[in-house]
Structure 1
Amino acid sequence: MGLGPTHESGGAPDTARQPVPGRRASVVLWLACAAQFMVVLDVSVVNVALPSIQDALGFDAVGLQWVVGGYALTFAGFLLLGGRLADLYGRRQVFQWGLTLFAASSLAGGVATTPGLLIAMRAVQGLGAAVLAPATLTILTTTFAEGPGRTRALATWTAVSSAGGAAGNLVGGVLTDTLTWRSILLINVPIGAAALLAAARLLPADRARGEARKLDLPGAVLATLGVGALVHGVSQAGTHGWHAPTALAGLAVGVAALAAFAAVEVRYATAPLLPPRLMRMRPVWAGNAVMLLAGACFIPMWYFLSLFMQDELHYGALATGVGFLPHTLVGIATARLAPAVMRHTGARTLIVGSAVLSAVGFTWQGRIETGSDYLEGMLGPAVIMSAGMGLLITPITATVTSGIPTQDAGAASGLMNATRQIGGALGLAALVTIAAAAPGTTASYRAVFVAIAAMCAGVAALALALPASRDQDRQ
């Protein structure tokens, strides 16, 4: 893809980068995808194990939510910092840091005997994920030159990410039922160790930049505080209402910290965490706006579909996981198809079309009736909405990462990941409020899915602000 404008002063591309040989590039791709799969999987893999965790460690209802929330909060809060670390300290080294932190905290969490230790290790896991996730995307965008090769790599990365998000409930159910809840964390240890060995052998060494000694610590603190407080405030609004003191305090702190962060980046930082030149690039600001709204649609989707299957269809944990297989398989297949479609339509047209397709699927899902079975109430909408989702994420990612100088690739990756997570938190809080206002269980799900359909239509409209693809993007 070549959607970006010409590079601005201070953001010249790294023209010294050499192409990575085909076989080695393929191995690097799958290494990055394996790490991303772990990160996304662990967002949801604990959901079905929560009752077992509560019984084993004696959690109360308030503490139990932090087994999920602790990971999500630090993951979202540290993404901007994690992305910039890869730019300043080297992609291979930061990738290894993230893997080590993630695997070590998984081990400690898997053997935890107290609620406090498990929550703390889940938070550290989220920190490791925030370092690791941007590094995986940065490795891809610096390994594959812009064009069809990079688009195919991003499609594979997107498909694996979708599979990780959808497979969390299934993997968690299988491991918890056949082994123990501890296995959902301990399984990361051998996978992480193998990935570490592979990274040491396969990832090309890249030296730290001179600005590494000037890491923007004030910006890092403000960005982490701002994103973390914003996500916390929004989650509290979804649980306790928008007028709850904890929600208002979180939102106020988040907005104030992010405003201060913007001032620091523009006026004071010598090596900004988020270089202002990035936000002057149309693919970056417009693409992240689209990603924000897309995250608000698709991240909460799994939450409400899971509840629907358990509340309305009366499925258990394992059956719920199996019920997500059509969503997973269709999402993977269409994500892999996205590069071929992009060659004929361009990224912007594909984003608009796939968002409209998802809107149709969610509208159909919003017509569910009380007593509907899986075939009547879910299978058809699952195919349509998941096809739209699978086609959508690859062109957005390709757009946001196009034209980015190599030295800013990590910052761009961290920003895109953070934008998606913030969108998911905002969307979940808004949709929980909509569900609570609708009378009756089935009616509340109808209202939620129709609202998601409307937001998907908003994604299509917002995508019109993206730059049109150049002719060469379709070759």
Structure 2
Amino acid sequence: MNPFHRWRALALLCTANFMVILDSQIVLVALPSMERQLGLSPGEGQWILTANLLTFGGLLLLGGRAADLLGRRRVFQVGTALFLVVSLLSGLAVNGLMLVVVRAVHGVSAAMMAPAALSILTTTFEEGADRNRALAAWSGIGGIGATSGLLLGGVLTQSLGWQWVFFINVPVAALLLALSPALLPESYDRGRRESFDLAGAVTVTGSLVLLVYAIVQAPTAGWTAPLTIGLFVLSAVLLLLFVVIETRSAAPLLPPAILRLPRLAGGNMLMVILAMSAFGLSFLVAMYTQQVLGYSPFQYGFSTSVMPVTAVVGAYVAQFAVTRTGTRPVGAVSMVLMGAGLLLLTQAPVGGVYARDLLPALLLFGAGLGGATIAGSVAALAGVAEHDSGLASGINAAAFQLGGALGIALIATVVASTVTGPDPAALAGAFQSGFAACAVFAAAGLLVSLALLGRRGATGTTGAEEAAPSLR
């Protein structure tokens, strides 16, 4: 593929990533309106988010492997077509049950689109400077999608109704479908005759779904409640069964050799931790600005838009630095920046002033978030053979989703356990405790970066990665 065509393909892939992230953020803003108009209680309305998260997070690994075996462009197109249909049906939902069911199917579409798109990116751009630039674009557009969701969600909900937060997806998905045959290469090993690992797919998907559900409901039910413990135990049992199946399968869903890649564990662990920090911070800032400072949803979205913008800048600086110095220093510096921003937020007072108490912290955190995302992604995808790129992309995306769910659940628990009353002063104190917990996450990310991301080789990769064995 010539260079110009590659970058046009990247533009399409980044647009798909933009829409997946936009959708997840825009629903958050419109959720109160959905609950009112559909007659849902807050607990019932939460299932609009939970249903999507369960299927999205639970099926990412399966979606990535399906892309490897069935064709990456094909799986991307099927996922995009399903994304279009469920977006239309979501906007046409006449009751809460219909919307929850359709949002669960929407998670299926996203679990196909996201890893397929990322694996097409990794197979289109060779490991090194070009791939690092492509990943910076991928990460940067994701940050813009998050901001756009917060801003656009309020505007659409107030002016046209909550249905339009879903309808807006339809023309973009149609455009992606129309352009993908011309812009995206099809890639998979046409010579493979491996059977699909159904038993492995069922057990790992069940394990991930139960794990996500346990994390999501833990703040309400309690981390030591029988339901929570039971879900974690069942998830662990299915995971162990999955491991046994994989060791005996002639065509495993997760080839054991992929786990021997030098920086795969460190890169994905960093993705989990940075997602915990990022989702936790977003949750806390949303609560702090609206419940303590009295911001409207639109004011909140506009005031925090500086963070994803600086994340874009951080990602582009990081892709140059990763090529020259490797992932370890970039990951470490990025987590220090994120931690510094969070420590500043631990001092956010009741009568906070945006320019003094929020802006500097968001600038630091955003720059670190962009850099850490690049370091984690480059490390997690380094040395992966082309025929396993979809699987590696699915693992990477799943790590981020699981980290986000875990971060929100833990921070919600911290806030609930430290709040002493409904007044702004009590809420501010609880939110400060939450920011401190996020800073602990960032410190853990610093340790992971230093210990597990490896040393720099000649091109910003480790020598072990350059000699990574085939996974087949």
In the alignment, is the contact (CA less than 8 A) between 2:324 and 2:459 conserved in 1? no
State which of 19, 33, 40 in structure 2 corresponds to 1:52: 33
| Cα deviation digits, residues 40-84 of structure 1 (max 9, x gap) | 122221112112112222212221001111111110000000000
1:143 is matched with 124
State which of 308, 330, 348 in structure 1 corresponds to 2:310: 330
Amino acid in the other structure paired with 1:27: R
2:149 is matched with 168
In the alignment, is the contact (CA less than 8 A) between 1:235 and 1:247 conserved in 2? no
Q: Which runs of 4+ in 1 moved over 6 A?
A: none
State which of 388, 391, 396 in structure 2 corresponds to 1:411: 391
State which of 240, 244, 255 in structure 2 corresponds to 1:259: 240
In the alignment, is the contact (CA less than 8 A) between 1:234 and 1:250 conserved in 2? no
Q: Is 2:378 aligned against 1:398?
A: yes
State which of 447, 454, 458 in structure 2 corresponds to 1:467: 454
In the alignment, is the contact (CA less than 8 A) between 1:158 and 1:394 conserved in 2? yes
Inter-partner Cα distance in structure 2 for 1:313 and 1:53:
25
Inter-partner Cα distance in structure 2 for 1:200 and 1:433:
46
Structure 1 gaps of 5+ residues are: 1-19
State which of 263, 266, 274 in structure 1 corresponds to 2:254: 274
Bigger mean CA offset, 350-359 vs 431-440:
431-440
| Cα deviation digits, residues 202-241 of structure 1 (max 9, x gap) | 1123356455761111111111111110010011112221
Inter-partner Cα distance in structure 2 for 1:218 and 1:443:
48
SS of alignment partner, residue 73 of structure 2: helix
1:91 is matched with 72
Alignment CA distance shift 1:168-1:453 (3 Å) = same
Please, what TM-score do these two structures have when normalized by structure 2? 0.93
Q: Is 2:24 aligned against 1:43?
A: yes
2:428 is matched with 442
Aligned residue pairs total 454
Inter-partner Cα distance in structure 2 for 1:211 and 1:308:
53
SS of alignment partner, residue 267 of structure 2: helix
Deviation of the 1:309 alpha carbon: 1.1
Inter-partner Cα distance in structure 2 for 1:453 and 1:93:
41
Inter-partner Cα distance in structure 2 for 1:80 and 1:108:
26
Q: Is 2:216 aligned against 1:216?
A: no
In the alignment, is the contact (CA less than 8 A) between 2:9 and 2:183 conserved in 1? yes
SS of alignment partner, residue 274 of structure 1: coil
The 5-angstrom pairing of residues 179-218 of structure 1 reads 179-206=160-187, 209=190, 211=192, 214-218=195-199
Inter-partner Cα distance in structure 2 for 1:262 and 1:396:
25
Bigger mean CA offset, 257-266 vs 379-388:
257-266
1:339 is matched with 319
Inter-partner Cα distance in structure 1 for 2:93 and 2:163:
9
In the alignment, is the contact (CA less than 8 A) between 2:188 and 2:387 conserved in 1? no
Q: Is 2:269 aligned against 1:289?
A: yes
Bigger mean CA offset, 148-157 vs 280-289:
280-289
Deviation of the 1:140 alpha carbon: 0.6
1:10 is matched with none
Inter-partner Cα distance in structure 1 for 2:167 and 2:25:
15
Amino acid in the other structure paired with 1:298: A
In the alignment, is the contact (CA less than 8 A) between 2:293 and 2:350 conserved in 1? no
Deviation of the 1:122 alpha carbon: 0.6
Amino acid in the other structure paired with 1:97: V
Q: Is 2:222 aligned against 1:241?
A: yes
State which of 60, 66, 69 in structure 1 corresponds to 2:50: 69
2:468 is matched with none
In the alignment, is the contact (CA less than 8 A) between 2:280 and 2:438 conserved in 1? no
State which of 113, 118, 136 in structure 2 corresponds to 1:155: 136
Deviation of the 1:373 alpha carbon: 2.3
Structure 2 gaps of 5+ residues are: 420-425, 462-472
1:102 is matched with 83
Deviation of the 1:291 alpha carbon: 1.7
| Cα deviation digits, residues 250-279 of structure 1 (max 9, x gap) | 212211111211221122x22222111110
Bigger mean CA offset, 389-398 vs 236-245:
236-245
Inter-partner Cα distance in structure 2 for 1:436 and 1:62:
16
SS of alignment partner, residue 383 of structure 2: coil
State which of 98, 107, 110 in structure 2 corresponds to 1:129: 110
Q: Is 2:373 aligned against 1:373?
A: no
Alignment CA distance shift 1:260-1:209 (3 Å) = farther
SS of alignment partner, residue 458 of structure 1: helix
Inter-partner Cα distance in structure 2 for 1:241 and 1:334:
37
Deviation of the 1:319 alpha carbon: 1.2
Please, what TM-score do these two structures have when normalized by structure 1? 0.93
In the alignment, is the contact (CA less than 8 A) between 1:166 and 1:302 conserved in 2? no
- Give me the identity figure in percent: 35
Deviation of the 1:32 alpha carbon: 0.6
State which of 376, 384, 387 in structure 1 corresponds to 2:364: 384
Deviation of the 1:426 alpha carbon: 1.8
Inter-partner Cα distance in structure 2 for 1:444 and 1:96:
45
Bigger mean CA offset, 338-347 vs 277-286:
338-347
Deviation of the 1:147 alpha carbon: 1.2
